[in-house]
Amino acid sequence: MARSKRTAEPINAGSMADIAFLLLIFFLVTTTMDVDSGLLRKLPPPLDPEAPKPPPIKERNVFTVLVNRNDQLLVEGEIGSLKTLRAKAKEFVLNPYNKANLSAKKDPAIIELIGTYAVSKGVVSLQNDRGTSYDMYISVQNELVAAYREIRDDLAMQTFGKKYKLLNKVRAKAVRKAIPMMISEAEPRNISS
Amino acid sequence: MSKFRKKDKGGTPEISTASLPDIVFMLLFFFMVTTVMREVSLKVVVQQPFATEVKKLEKKSLVSYIYIGPPIKGLVSTYGTEPRIQLNDAFATVADLGEFIIAEREARSEKEVPFMTTSLKIDKTVKMGIVTDVKQELRELNALKVNYSTKKGTDITTE
């Protein structure tokens, strides 16, 4: 006689958790969560020895930052520090009082979405010694990038009421056009300390 | 008073563990998705400096990495403490960079080459001399997009 009720034996799922744990621990161990982030920069193209020399930039339009082998700063011929560098760079690029020793401006031109704007001719020139520590170099770079970022933020705030980072592509491009990031790294050479 | 008889078992009822696998699986999937397998074994110590203006690197497939730093502890006896360049899995010199970059370029399609970025992972104690050499070499090779890999935040030690 066949049994009237055939009970299927339930599969014991208790070990499922163990298996899942095993896999989980494997992935936990192999996971590296580091998102690679950093300062994105563009190197100048290689020098063409045959190319004509570019016209020299006027002294007032160059903001020189020198870092020596003892990680000391020389900003525009004066001993400077990381703390004041950002403010000085900003003042140099913007030149709000049109001082004669700070950067000149190009003739005001119309930039789409922004209106007439006099683009600064200023170039920040960074020079370091072979003995400068990488840590210091990054700190200086960071301050200079921060200076430009703050200037862009200011302009973006004025015209669009938003920070530069939050602008859409077209607007961000307009801001970039008004405030191009001009950080040049001079050809390496040894600066005597 | 049989109506108010105490229950014969007074202990707390057992918690069902039936949903435990589900929870664990959820975690498992999370880690499976976020996992990036380590590609190279580092032979140099890289303690990245701090910066505040960092940007995230996008398109990881287009990034090639250069590591510079002093050799790890186990290799100090053989290689000393002088900072060295590591490309892929081996120590290299500045002269090897050309080959490395060309190999990296060939691994990508021609269209992607202009968007390739070189990420420099450099220890903060390294002097700029070796970094400058690498940068000059990269310029010569026309690999102009570089990323100085840094951690986000401010360092207390910088005055």
For residue A28, which residues of chain B lie inside 8 Å, CB to CB? 31
A153 vs A52, which has greater pLDDT?
A: A153
Task: Give residue A135's region: left, alpha or beta (phi > 0; psi -120 to 50).
Answer: alpha
Q: Residue B156 — pLDDT band, cuts 50, 70, 90?
A: low
Are B125 and A134 a contacting pair at CB < 8 A?
A: yes
- Class of residue B126 by CB neighbours under 10 A (exposed 0-12, middle 13-18, buried 19+): buried
Is 70 exceeded by the pLDDT of residue B159? no
Any chain B CB within 8 A of the CB of A2? no
Q: pLDDT averaged over chain A?
A: 80
pLDDT given for residue A182 in this prediction: 83
pLDDT given for residue A89 in this prediction: 86
> Strand pairing partners for A116?
A110
Domains and CATH numbers, chain B: 50-152 (3.30.420.270)
Is 50 exceeded by the pLDDT of residue A88? yes
Among the partner-chain residues B53, B123, B125, the one whose CB lies closest to the CB of A149 is: B53
For residue A38, which residues of chain B lie inside 8 Å, CB to CB? 48, 51, 54-55, 57, 119-120, 147-150
Judge whether A176 and A148 are in contact, CB under 8 Å: no
- Phi/psi for B72 (5° steps) reads -70, 165
Give pLDDT tens digits for B121-153.
898 888 888 888 888 888 888 888 888 888 887
Give pLDDT tens digits for B86-127.
888 888 888 888 888 888 888 888 888 888 888 888 988 888
Judge whether A41 and B150 are in contact, CB under 8 Å: no
Can you tell me which residue has the tokens 């399609």? B109
Is 80 exceeded by the pLDDT of residue B69? yes
- Phi/psi for B86 (5° steps) reads -120, 125
Give pLDDT tens digits for A171-193.
888 888 888 888 887 766 654 44
Query: Would the pTM count as exceeding 0.80?
Result: no
Are A30 and B57 a contacting pair at CB < 8 A?
A: no
Among the partner-chain residues A31, A32, A137, the one whose CB lies closest to the CB of B128 is: A137
Among the partner-chain residues B52, B55, B124, the one whose CB lies closest to the CB of A135 is: B124
Question: Taking the domains of chain A in order of start, what are their residue ranges?
Answer: 59-185
